[in-house]
Structure 1
């Protein structure tokens, strides 16, 4: 968090995010913040429902009438409703959203529902796909190298192409771990896009077909090595009125600025598929406006490009929600 000079305004940015939240000091806390919240099942239900009502941006596009959902499920909740029963109710309420970024959590158990037909990236799937790629596409390639958690390797190809894979387990945690990931990413990029290689590199293939997402910031970091010209990657905005889902914050532009050192500015092919999630999608989006020739090849993505928004209910139920990148 960084305060501005007047000390009444600040902005907050998580390590893995490329957007920030603007903060404004108010004279005092609203009265509602001073009143304790009841912890009975009905209050918990109301907090859960209201959290989505005020924050979730996709009810209309998914054809979900959230008010009808409340009318259907609230009569099932009463003073004697157990924790397990309430967990089941919440899970049933969000299941039709088929949103990979929505989850209901109670302790160690988590309910999440992806879109039908989606193959969720796993370490096992990544290993299987990597073996297939090496045997079919990289046969005869020299100097195969793996980085980070061992995603698809980077070869030296006689055809003047570099193929970069992205592991399914490349999620990002907070704090120092992000800096460690950036350092490892730079090590990979310095190998793939070193001075000697960029001089003879004709094209670059970036394979995101098995990618579980992670950090938007890492995607922007890669894009900075693929241009000599600054450009707009995308803009981010969030809902800005709890009663009106059509009102949003002012869009925050996210720009790509060329990195120092060797860069590849020639053709790039981005491979995507049904197992390209979250930050894999925002990275793809960041490359679409790239001044150099960029081609996306593959089937539609299965998740959505979002920024995290997490809320707690009175009895520690955690309805996960997301707000859209626009």
Structure 2
């Protein structure tokens, strides 16, 4: 067998190769160092974060035209205030103030130290709800907790309070509620102070109160970056295959009935056997889109629109059939005017 020896590289060539490799390593190292030293947090500097927030909102937010918001003008107002040396709290407050201009409770900026939100949609409205009053004067220890529902008969009607659509609904829980409606004059579903949650829970509950497929509204889904790039979808509620109740139902609302609760109210309002009593809901008629920002913050904006069958937006809330406010005199007597009006209606009294 032939013994093959490696070729001996001349010393001068070895030196040249060594210098070349060393130069390459130094070049790469310098490039890396330059990136590390000049931009230690590339993309998460104040200017980049601000631009990311403004641009994502510009492309995905759904109510610029509806609310008459000139987003470019807002950019011109806020962008000059961004500085390279801003701390995270100062930058957060500035960006939150910009987003506040949208007047939308579904628009949030979330960091490890704060969460921005627009609250004015209910702060100037009457509370029109007191769980303590209900517990002391209507429940009085007789209530049952059936899944997420707080349930009690009030004479010939049944009262049910649902605190949050974030709480899951089982078929069994609804079946138990409906079984208690036999020989009763109707059902009160109280969703006051229900801040929302899952729209699927709303749809599931509504499906128990219709005997046929019904159009409940139109969803406008974002299809592009333009402020008016939307596709319209018809939204229907299908009747549940099991137990249903098509007797008289009253839904109680106030301004703190928000988001999925506004959708629920609009769905129920489209049914012929339902009356809504109380105050206009808080709105929140846009499904949210989320975006992770380069500095670890989270941005949420409304990215769709919902309209009732009359082509009326629910973003500002769903109005009741019968407007009722709680009064100080009634409260002092331990009475909830909204519940009392619902009971009277179901008992055939106007």
TM-score normalised to structure 1 length: 0.73
SS across alignment from 1:249:
strand
1:11 is matched with: none
Runs of 4 or more consecutive aligned structure 1 residues displaced over 6 Å after TM superposition: none
Alpha-carbon deviation of 1:317?
2.6
Of 307, 314, 318, the residue aligned with 2:287 is 307
Of 73, 84, 88, the residue aligned with 1:83 is 88
Structure with bigger helix share is 2
1:100 is matched with: 105
Alpha-carbon deviation of 1:77?
1.4
Figure out how many residues of one structure are paired with residues of the other and give that number.
Answer: 265
Alpha-carbon deviation of 1:272?
0.9
1:261 is matched with: 242
Alpha-carbon deviation of 1:117?
4.1
SS across alignment from 1:162:
strand
Bigger drift between 205-214 and 303-312 goes to 303-312
Contact 2:181/2:187, CA 8 A, preserved across alignment: no
Residues 57-113 of structure 1: CA deviation (Å, up to 9, x unaligned): 222333322111111111111322222221111011012323111111112421112
Superposed CA RMSD in Å reads 2.6
Counterparts in 2 of 1:215-254, with a 5 A limit?
215-243=198-226, 245-251=227-233, 253-254=234-235
1:298 is matched with: 278
The 3 A distance-change label for structure 1 pair 114 and 248 is: same
Residues 215-236 of structure 1: CA deviation (Å, up to 9, x unaligned): 1101111111112112122332
Contact 1:101/1:320, CA 8 A, preserved across alignment: yes
Following the alignment from structure 2 to structure 1, what is the Cα–Cα distance between the partners of residues 44 and 139? 58
Counterparts in 2 of 1:66-81, with a 5 A limit?
66-81=71-86
Contact 1:202/1:267, CA 8 A, preserved across alignment: yes
Does residue 280 of structure 1 match 2:285? no
Contact 1:165/1:206, CA 8 A, preserved across alignment: yes
Following the alignment from structure 1 to structure 2, what is the Cα–Cα distance between the partners of residues 256 and 117? 29
Counterparts in 2 of 1:173-212, with a 5 A limit?
181-183=168-170, 186-194=171-179, 197-212=180-195
The 3 A distance-change label for structure 1 pair 188 and 108 is: farther
Residues 2-36 of structure 1: CA deviation (Å, up to 9, x unaligned): xxxxxxxxxxxxxxxxxxxxxxxxxxxxxxxxxx9
| Structure 2: stretches of 5+ with no match in the other structure | 1-40, 308-350
Of 152, 156, 167, the residue aligned with 2:153 is 156
Alpha-carbon deviation of 1:209?
1.3
SS across alignment from 1:277:
coil
TM-score normalised to structure 2 length: 0.69
Of 156, 160, 167, the residue aligned with 2:163 is 167
Following the alignment from structure 1 to structure 2, what is the Cα–Cα distance between the partners of residues 45 and 135? 50
The 3 A distance-change label for structure 1 pair 37 and 254 is: farther
The 3 A distance-change label for structure 1 pair 246 and 147 is: same
Residues 117-154 of structure 1: CA deviation (Å, up to 9, x unaligned): 4389xxxx99x823312433456xx95212345x6x31
| Structure 1: stretches of 5+ with no match in the other structure | 1-35, 173-180
Following the alignment from structure 1 to structure 2, what is the Cα–Cα distance between the partners of residues 43 and 316? 13
